[in-house]
Amino acid sequence: MERTIQKVKVEIPYHLRQFVNDSAEVEMAAVDVAGCLHDLESSFPEMKGRLLDGEGRLRLFANIYVNGEDIRWSQGLTTPLKDGDCITIVPFIPGG
C-alpha cells in the first residue's frame, strides 16, 4: 500500500529556532516522521545532524511526539503521518 504525502506542522524548540529562520513552527510535507525530519534538514541545512545521526537514527537527546504521543512507543521514525498532524520536538536536557 502506497502512502501519500501529508502536510504537517513541526513545533521547533527555542534552542533550534536559530536554524529555521527563528520560526516557532514550520510546515512540512512527508509520509512519515523520518521523511519529515529528513525534509526539515534539507529545507534548513543548519539543522543537519541536530536530530538525526549520520545513519538516520534519532539522536538520544531528542524526543519526538506526534499529536502528543511519543513515537518511541509507536512505530518510531516510521510512524505514519496524517494531514494536519503536529510534530513536537522536545530536547532532553539533563540536570535538575
pLDDT digits (tens, 9 = 90+) for 59-72: 888 899 999 999 99
User: Considering the domain boundaries, does residue 80 fall inside one?
Assistant: yes
User: Considering the domain boundaries, does residue 96 fall inside one?
Assistant: no
Average pLDDT, integer, range 45-54? 92
User: Considering the domain boundaries, does residue 74 fall inside one?
Assistant: yes
Residue 67: CATH number of its domain: 3.10.20.30
95 pLDDT band, cuts 50/70/90, is low
Separation CA 42–CA 56 (nearest Å): 13
User: For strand 69-70 and strand 86-91, is the pairing parallel, antiparallel, or unpaired?
Assistant: unpaired
User: Considering the domain boundaries, does residue 60 fall inside one?
Assistant: yes
pLDDT at 30 over 80: yes
Q: What pLDDT is attached to residue 23?
A: 97
Domain extent, residue 83, equals 6-91
Q: What pLDDT is attached to residue 96?
A: 55
Q: Please tell me the total count of domains within the chain.
A: 1
User: Considering the domain boundaries, does residue 1 fall inside one?
Assistant: no
